[in-house]
Chains A and B, each alone.
Chain A
Amino acid sequence: MGTIRIPSARGSFRVWQRNITIFRKYWKSILFPNFVEPLLYLVALGLGLGAFIQQGGINGQPYVQFVAPGLLASNAMFAASFESTFNTFVKLKIDKIYDAIITTPVNAEDVVGGEYLWAGTRAALYGTAFLATIVVLGIVFGQPLVTSWWALLLPLMLLVIGVMFSVMGTLFTSLIERIDLYAYYFTLVVTPLFLLSGVFFPVDDFPAPVPQVAWFTPLYHAVNVCRELATGPSPAVLADIAWILVFTSVLALIPVQIMRRRLIG
């Protein structure tokens, strides 16, 4: 009692393994919406809206090339957010899957650790598929959307970004009793981040305090990282990566403790 619990690598791996086993049975049936949605945004905004932003694009970049990596980051946010909210809630409160797991040598803290890893993995899997698609689309339309070999690091970064949003989603999940309260999380947290973190327009060009406020939000840094890796990074990307790592590690142990208290009376 009272001690801070840290997930074990072994236990977390077992929980991750359970999730991937189930995912392998269903990935085909759920890949489609996860994959098509960012593609719709890319077509509608990148090509549609982009047609009106022809001259000079954004900071010299064609608009569709500007939007694509941002969508990569936001796609990772959505994948990890759904996983750590609705999916986790069902396992916690409805199917009682965690109650079964914690009667084995896998502890409650391992359950949360495993869910972080899994949400990150899912974000990386979907993100990588989307990345491959935009690379191909770029080649097909003669308008390269990814121009740097640094993009090979993107799957790893999407995993890290996924874990970050999983920690946030799990924190919300650990605090609520009813599934309909997620409407608040998505309307007040996820959607504003999606619209205001530099996915669709460069936040940095706005007057103060807009860039300063954006600096405190997670997706802003995730978008910066993806955009830099897609087109060749400047050293500034290290600051964004550091922000993500610090934010994630500071927050990560809080849902672990709250969830443990919910699972163990």
Chain B
Amino acid sequence: MNTETERTTGTLSGEHTLVARGLKKSYAGFEAVRGVDFRVSGGECFGFLGPNGAGKTTTMKMIYGAVIPTGGELTVAGLDVYHHEREIKRRIGVVPQENNLDDELKVEENLLIYGRYYDLPRKLVLRRAEELLDFMQLSEKAEATVEQLSGGMKRRLLIARALLNDPEIVVLDEPTTGLDPQARLLVWDRLRELTAEGKTLILTTHYMEEAARLCDRLVIMEGGLIIAEGTPGALVEEHVSPQVLEFRTDHRSLEELVPIIEAASDAVERTGDESILAYTEDADALLERVRGSGAKIENTVYRQAGLEDVFLRLTGRRLVE
């Protein structure tokens, strides 16, 4: 039907393609998302970071219509999610957190069936399926059933499937969870190609390296709220000192060291009974002070502060489930 004619290739850069204002979702007795605001421009890669249960997946689902907000506004590709369910779904692609491929069907058949949901002509779907399987390096598996694929291949097939309708916006909920390093690099590379083509990517991840490499901008969520927002570089600059020293020693010595380190650095994070992270502007000075104290240190690691440090700083070290 109206598949080819109204498709726009990418979105004008700078135009807001996704806007949320005071967006909320509550279930009986539980607020999953407690009023979030964000704006995503066309062609941007925008990330959602946060511990499990922070509200990331609920936010993703509100974008693709699997969860209906209980408050606030959300427009996707300029369309209000409350009134344009089908139209929005026609223009976005979704990579869900859980594999929901048709296991008994062949790889290519999965794409053919999916193409029908968009009313795409069979010829076009066949051509796009071939291109996308090639793009995700699955061409050799076109005739295999999904059951025969490895976890990483299924994940790549989910990405190929999400691109079948040539979406303006692709929503990816933890696209690389469970992938081996090679597959992860392939996915990163492909996602960067998509943004270069002008597609807007919205992704959630637990991997700080992934967020730092892929995202133009990102937000950190916790407890249903956005607690920080910015480019990866700006977030690091704003929230943590640039240099990090990690000290490792036995438990007893560490207890003695903690007051010295705390006094000499901008901030510390205990990472266990036998290790501590110290954030500072001047690592050499800190190291000298600690060594001067005469306390026993088994191991010291120096590095530049990164997104992981911001994340730990803002969301705390305790395990959130």
Q: What residues make up the interface of A, taking CB atoms closer than 8 Å to B?
A: 1, 10, 14, 17-18, 21-22, 25-26, 95-97, 99-107, 263-265
User: A102, A104, A264: which contacts B114 (Cβ < 8 A)?
Assistant: A104
Q: Are A106 and B117 in contact (CB under 8 A)?
A: yes
What are 12 A-B contacts defined by CB distance under 8 Å? A14-B117, A21-B105, A22-B104, A97-B100, A100-B96, A100-B114, A102-B65, A103-B96, A104-B117, A105-B86, A105-B117, A106-B117
B98–A102 contact, CB under 8 A?
Answer: no
Q: What residue in chain B is nearest A96 (Cβ atoms)? A: B100
New contact pairs (17) apart from A95-B100, A96-B98, CB-CB < 8 Å: A1-B68, A14-B116, A21-B105, A21-B113, A25-B104, A99-B66, A99-B100, A100-B114, A103-B64, A103-B65, A104-B114, A104-B118, A107-B85, A264-B66, A264-B68, A265-B61, A265-B68
Task: Report Cα–Cα, A103/B117, bound state, in Å.
Answer: 10
A25 to chain B, nearest CB (A): 7
Tally of B interface residues using CB under 8 Å: 32
Q: From B98, which residue of chain A is reached at the shortest CB distance?
A: A96
Whether A265 and B102, one on each chain, are in contact in the complex, defined by CB atoms closer than 8 angstroms, is no
How far does the Cβ of A163 sit from chain B's closest Cβ, in whole Å? 22
Closest to B32 in A: A265
- Contact status B89-A104, CB under 8 Å: yes
Contact partners of B85 in chain A: CB under 8 A: 107
Q: Complex Cα distance A26/B109, Å?
A: 15
Secondary structure dominating the interface of A? helix
Query: Given contacts A14-B117, A25-B104, A265-B27, is CB(A103)–CB(B67) below 8 Å?
Result: no
Bound form: Cα–Cα A95–B100 in Å: 6
The reply to whether B90 and A22 form a contact with Cβ atoms under 8 Å apart is no
Q: Which residues of B contact A96 (CB under 8 A)?
A: 98-100
B101: CB under 8 A from chain A?
yes
User: Contact at B96–A99, with CB atoms within 8 Å?
Assistant: yes
* B interface residues (Cβ-Cβ under 8 A, vs A): 25, 27, 58, 61, 64-68, 85-87, 89-90, 94, 96, 98-105, 109, 113-114, 116-119, 165
Q: In whole angstroms, how far apart are the Cα atoms of A220 and B102 in the complex? A: 37
Taking the nearest CB of chain A, how far is it from the CB of B33, in angstroms?
A: 11
**Chain A hits for B27, CB < 8 A:** 265
Cα of A175 to Cα of B69 in the assembled complex, Å: 23
CA distance A232 to B67 in the complex (A): 53
A22 touches B64 (CB 8 A): no
User: Do A97 and B66 form a contact, CB below 8 Å, given A104-B114, A104-B118?
Assistant: no
User: How far apart are the CA atoms of A21 and B111 in the complex, in Å?
Assistant: 13
Least Cβ distance of A42 to chain B in Å?
A: 32
Which residue of chain A has the shortest Cβ distance to B113 in the bound complex? A18
Q: A263-B66, A264-B66 are in contact. Are A17 and B102 (CB under 8 A)?
A: no
Contact call B94/A103, Cβ cutoff below 8 A: yes
Task: Please pick, from A10, A14, A25, A95, the residue contacting B103 in the complex, using a CB distance under 8 A.
Answer: A95
What distance in Å separates the Cβ of B210 from its nearest Cβ neighbour in chain A?
Answer: 22
CB pair B65–A22 under 8 Å, yes or no, is: no
A100/B116 contact (C-beta < 8 A), A264-B67, A264-B68, A265-B27 known: no
Q: Which residues of A contact B105 (CB under 8 A)?
A: 21-22, 25
B102 touches A105 (CB 8 A): no
The CA of A104 and the CA of B65, in the complex, are separated in Å by 10
Q: How far is the CB of B6 from chain A (nearest CB, A)?
A: 13
Q: Across the interface, which residues of B come within 8 angstroms of A103, CB to CB?
A: 64-66, 89, 94, 96
Contact pick for B89, options A18, A21, A105, CB 8 Å: A105
Contact A97 B102, beta carbon cutoff 8 Å: yes
Taking CB atoms, residues of chain A closer than 8 Å to B103 are 95
B61, B85, B100, most chain A CB atoms within 10 A: B100
- A104 to B, closest residue via Cβ: B117
A107 touches B86 (CB 8 A): yes
Nearest CB of B to A244, in Å: 31
Contact B68 A105 (CB under 8 A): no
Using Cβ atoms and an 8 Å threshold, which residues of chain B touch A104?
A: 89-90, 114, 117-118, 165
When C-beta atoms are compared, the residue in chain B nearest to A15 turns out to be B117
Asked if A100 and B66 make an inter-chain contact with CB atoms under 8 angstroms apart, the answer reads no
CA distance A46 to B142 in the complex (A): 50
Top 6 closest pairs, chain A to chain B, by CB: A104-B117, A96-B100, A100-B100, A103-B94, A265-B67, A105-B90
A264 engages B65 (CB within 8 Å): yes
Instruction: Report Cα–Cα, A106/B65, bound state, in Å.
Output: 11
Minimum Cβ distance to chain B for residue A256 (Å): 15
Docked Cα-Cα span, A102 to B114, in Å, equals 11
